[in-house]
Amino acid sequence: MKPSKIEKIVCFVLVKAVCNFKPRWATNIQYYFFKRWGMQFNGKPNYISSLIWFDGTDYSLIKIGNQVTMSSYIRVLTHDWALHTVAKAFDIPQDKPIGRIKGVEIGDYSFVGTGTIIMPGTIIGKGCIIAAGTVVRGNIPDFSIYGGSPGIIMGDSREYLAKNVKEFKFEK
């Protein structure tokens, strides 16, 4: 379902009204509306910041896993119209804009840090940690620690957990 402008305004006003004193309520409000608008969820998210921008081209192209945490100032893109602009430099005739629209998936129990940009066609695996400020593209394997611009795999989230939580044991 494509959201009406009124419905979007209601959603974002509600989220902004409660986000500073009840962040979990803001997550629940967003979960309700994004699901209503076609975003796919595999269970409930742990936390979705009120300061995230999801590409509204088609919310059904976005899949978010169970217990995902998404920090602030994240951009989730499902479209790329750069081809349309560059094609004009070569006088390529265009009956309609040249672009690409691809979905984004964020696996169960993944964490996405502040300021991250998730590019169209990205698949983030289960249990991943995406570092703050990362440009994410392509397929990120399960349990990866991924960071940088462009992003690279920097480690394994299970090893990081084992190093920092003595109750967790991980052996390769």
What type of residue is 94? Answer: Q
pLDDT of residue 134: 98
Contacts of 149 (CB under 8 A, 6+ apart): 133, 134, 135
Total-model pTM: 0.91
Strands (E), the chain: 40-41, 47-48, 53-54, 62-64, 69-70, 75-76, 79-80, 100-101, 104-106, 111-112, 117-118, 123-124, 129-130, 135-136, 139-140, 144-148, 151-156
pLDDT of 43 higher than 80: yes
pLDDT of 170 higher than 80: no
pLDDT of 74 higher than 90: yes
pLDDT of 167 higher than 90: no
Domains and CATH numbers, the chain: 39-164 (2.160.10.10)
pLDDT of 171 higher than 80: no
